[in-house]
Structure 1
Amino acid sequence: MTTDEARPAPEQYRSAGDEVDRIVGAWERERPDLDASPLHVLSRISRLARHLDLARGTAFARHGLEGWEFDVLSALRRSGEPYQLSPGQLVTQTLVTSGTMTNRVDRLAARGFVERHPDSRDRRGVLVALTPSGREVVDAALADLLDRERDLLRDLPPREREALTSTLRVLLQPFDG
């Protein structure tokens, strides 16, 4: 099958009528020499990510949190009792630099959401521990976030959610592997 055979006709996309279809149709009209088909998937993911960021921001703001604060606090909360991780583990889980993490831990400690404790296994090491107020705020923010995310997925039947989950897992695998 050639690239042209694998690519549905632009009219098919225009009949579906979303903004991405219009964008792709315009690129196909202006640059028929290029295969714009990746935009059908990745532009939708990008647009969905923006909407998700807005919904998450709203959920976090209701609890006085920024997204990065939720990321750090939730990494600690997910770690289980005693809700503590090394700064290196936090860096790995939140995909930021060690300098950025130091700044974030400082700011969360100033808000009373985390504390630093010496690592009993490494005299030079430090562990970042979730405080009771940190646990309370991250638990409340998570509940609100999940309500909003369920609402975003409400029109997608369970079987389609499972298929989408599987497809997105394959798409993300090279980045997470």
Structure 2
Amino acid sequence: MDVKRLYVDTTTTLIAMEDEVDRLVAAWRRERPDLDVEPLEVLSRVSRLARHLDRARRLAFSEHGLEPWEFDVLTALRRAGTPYQLSPGQLLTQTLVTSGTMTNRIDRLAKKDLVERLPDPSDRRGVLVRLTDEGRDRADQALAGLLDQERAILAELSRTQRGELAGLLRQLTAPFDNIPG
């Protein structure tokens, strides 16, 4: 890693690191000086970070015998609190998949004894999906593994920097999360 030191004054030292995005942006600026490539400086890094995070997530989940989609469904149920159950419609909302996909996922998780289907007492035609004890244990273990992986990814940032980054990312993602339908 190429590290350059910039001395701002006698009390503060800033470290500037060059990364692959810096090289990509410099190449585009050289090849297409007519374009403003500034968005690449942020969003290419977000994209690259997402790929690293995806690898870390898959590793954390595989150590507990789970696929990412299984983790998503199990943790949606786990976050619901006791008795760890939701309707398939509520699971759809939380995991952003189609009803056919959710039905398939529930079937597969039920075959692994990680969830069970129960009749919905408030709707004779409805069902509830409940986390089994094994499902809860696997979700809890995988979450702990995931958090270890994510802490390692964020290790270079101070608590203050992590808070600032979270706020900036929230500002970017909130409009997408609040789009109806």
Determine if the TM-score, normalized by the shorter chain, exceeds 0.5: yes
- Where 1:147 maps in the other structure, the secondary structure is helix
Residue 171 (structure 1) aligns with: 172
Deviates more, 1:15-24 or 1:141-150: 15-24
More helix by share: 1
Cα displacement (A) at 1:16 = 4.1
**Identity percentage over the alignment?**
67
Corresponding residue for residue 94 of structure 1:
95
CA distance in 1, matches of 2:69, 2:97: 10
Could you tell me which residue of structure 1 aligns to residue 123 of structure 2? 122
- Give the superposition deviation at 1:40: 0.4
SS at structure 2 position matched to 1:134 = helix
Structure 1 residue 166: Cα displacement: 0.4
Q: CA shift at 1:17, angstroms? A: 1.8
Q: Deviations over 1:8-64 (max 9, x none)?
A: xxxxxxx84210011111111111111110000000000000000000100000000
Aligned to 1:106: 107
Q: Moved runs in structure 1, 4+ residues, more than 6 A?
A: none
Give the aligned partner of residue 60 of structure 1.
Answer: 61
Shift of 1:76: 0.2
Amino acid paired to 2:161 = E
How many Å separate the matches in 1 of 2:125 and 2:25?
55
Partner of 2:152: 151
Structure-2 separation of matches of 1:23 and 1:95: 33
Structure 1: give runs of 5+ residues left out of the alignment: 1-14
**5+ residue gaps, structure 2:** 1-15
Find the counterpart in structure 2 of residue 39 from structure 1: 40
1:72 counterpart residue number:
73
Residue 81 of structure 1 corresponds to which residue in structure 2?
82
Q: CA RMSD in A?
A: 0.9
